[in-house]
Amino acid sequence: MHTFFAPDLAGSTYTLPEDESKHAVRVLRLGIGDAVELLDGRGGRYAAAVADANPKRCQLHITYHATVAPRPYFTHVAVAPTKNLDRMEWFVEKAVEVGVERISFLRCARSERRELKLERMEKIAISALKQSGQTWLPQLDELTDYATFVAAVLPETTFIAHLAEGERTALAQVAGAGSGCCVLIGPEGDFTPQEIALAREKGIRPVTLGASRLRTETAALAVVFTAQIMRDK
């Protein structure tokens, strides 16, 4: 069954945007009576049937609606985007497929990417939502300076994954505790000593993701996987 994203769905009918209408009618060859699925990104899953197969405004009739409650455990990854944007797009896609509630993008001292177009990331997240059947679209935050971000988080549920020497707790030991966690992942050159010190001053605890030295996007996805495993135990 074909799935469409309908963030503004309300009532018993829904009209697809023109680009989606054209895709549904001209590419997918959907006709009157054909069944489709709609996701609103807010927990809503809808069954619908094509009522008007117009390639400019394909109208759907809602036949069933169910709401999936948000997960009780909140996973938030704050990551410095890589210079190669394809790698960050890959992370967003896979993180949404696995299940993540929020992704923030950090501008760090060693960041090679200083700007980011969030619109492209949002499109990838929506595509991953439809592909995976997830019902909650994660919140995606604009690129934010590291110091500004750190000042606004709750230190008791925030952790920093870095490669500097010192005692660190395995993420698996803390990821499943409480109602959720936020984990900071640095750029390809890691966080600077000053950034690590700032996190420590704010009460943010260091964690390790294992013995391997991971790429930025791999480390960020490892956080999502670890949180998913621990909260499902």
**pLDDT tens-digit profile of 178-211?**
788 999 999 999 999 999 999 999 999 999 998 8
Write down which residue in 67, 86, 120 finishes a domain: 67
Average pLDDT over residues 70-95: 94
Average pLDDT over residues 82-93: 95
Q: Would you say 49 and 33 are in contact if contact means Cβ atoms under 8 Å apart?
A: yes
pLDDT band of residue 165 (cuts 50, 70, 90) is confident
Q: Are residues 44 and 157 in the same domain?
A: no
Neighbours of 156 (CB within 10 A): 10
Q: Are residues 99 and 184 in the same domain?
A: yes
Distance CA 91, CA 219 (A): 10
* pTM of the model as a whole: 0.92
Average pLDDT over residues 18-47: 95
Write down which residue in 36, 67, 98 finishes a domain: 67
Q: Are residues 46 and 87 in the same domain?
A: no
Q: Are residues 95 and 173 in the same domain?
A: yes
Q: Residue 233 above 90 pLDDT?
A: no
- Which pLDDT value is given to residue 23? 94
CATH code at position 95? 3.40.1280.10
Go through the chain and tell me how many residues it has.
233
DSSP 42: B
Alpha-helical (H) ranges within the chain are 18-22, 85-98, 118-132, 146-152, 171-174, 193-201, 216-231
Q: Are residues 11 and 30 in the same domain?
A: yes
Domain count of the fold of the chain: 2
Q: Are residues 52 and 164 in the same domain?
A: no
Give φ, ψ of 94 to 5 degrees. -70, -35
Neighbours of 82 (CB within 10 A): 21
- Which pLDDT value is given to residue 183? 97
Write down which residue in 67, 83, 109 finishes a domain: 67
Q: What mean pLDDT value characterizes the chain?
A: 93
Q: Residue 47: which H helix or E strand, with range?
A: strand 44-52
Q: Residue 177 above 80 pLDDT?
A: no
> Looking at per-residue confidence, does 32 or 173 come out higher?
32
- Which pLDDT value is given to residue 88? 96
Using DSSP bridges, classify how beta strands 205-208 and 169-170 pair: parallel, antiparallel or unpaired: parallel
Q: Are residues 12 and 99 in the same domain?
A: no
- Which pLDDT value is given to residue 11? 87
Query: Rg of the chain's alpha carbons, rounded to an integer?
Result: 20
> Quick one: which of 107, 137, 104 has its CA closest to 123?
137
SS (H, E, C) 166-189: CCCEEHHHHCCCCCEEEEEECCCC
CATH code at position 53? 2.40.240.20
Q: Which position has the token pair 């929020």?
A: 102
- Which pLDDT value is given to residue 72? 84
Q: Are residues 50 and 110 in the same domain?
A: no
Q: Residue 110 above 90 pLDDT?
A: yes
- Which pLDDT value is given to residue 91? 97
Q: Are residues 83 and 49 in the same domain?
A: no
Domain with 225 in it: 74-231
Residues pairing with 62 in the sheet: 48
